[in-house]
Amino acid sequence: MSTPSTRLPEGRYGRSSDQRADRILKIVGGVLAVLMLGLVGWLGYHYVAQNEISAQVISFDVSDNAVKVHLEVHKDAGVDGYCTVRSQSEDGAEVGRADFRFDKDATRVDEVVTLRTTSPGTSAELVGCHTG
């Protein structure tokens, strides 16, 4: 004797609720993935295309009450902007922060700026650059 099957005959009663739920989840997941991809693409384009000024710290020299920072700034011609630089002490406390303006028409500005500190700093960090 054989054991009776608990499965329904295929094609007789339509799709099961699990199959419908799986299909809906796949559609919702696909739509969300496309939206997230679009958002990441838009943010990436906005960051790269709209950022008209960038810089990097080439070197720095610390003293008791100041840090001399050698900055290399790249920007579009005719764009004015500023870069924020900060210094921290050995224990990680911020001992100095300042904005330095770059208004020259050149696309590459290589300049040494002096950041005054409240106590001896051990580092110089570029926080960011902005137009305006």
| pLDDT in single tens digits along all 132 residues of the chain | 566 667 766 666 666 677 778 888 999 999 999 999 999 998 888 766 665 788 999 999 998 899 999 999 988 888 888 999 999 999 999 999 999 998 888 889 899 999 999 999 999 999 988 887
Q: How many CA atoms lie less than 13 Å away from 32 in the CB half-sphere?
A: 6
Q: What is the pLDDT of residue 44?
A: 83
Q: What is the pLDDT of residue 104?
A: 81
Q: How far apart are CA 53 and CA 111, in angstroms?
A: 15
- Cβ atoms of 43 and 77 closer than 8 Å: no
Q: What is the pLDDT of residue 3?
A: 66
Q: What residues does 62 pair with on adjacent strands?
A: 67
Q: How far is CA 14 from the centre of its chain?
A: 50
DSSP 12: T
Q: How many CA atoms lie less than 13 Å away from 71 in the CB half-sphere?
A: 30
Q: What is the pLDDT of residue 48?
A: 67
pTM: 0.61
Q: What is the pLDDT of residue 52?
A: 76
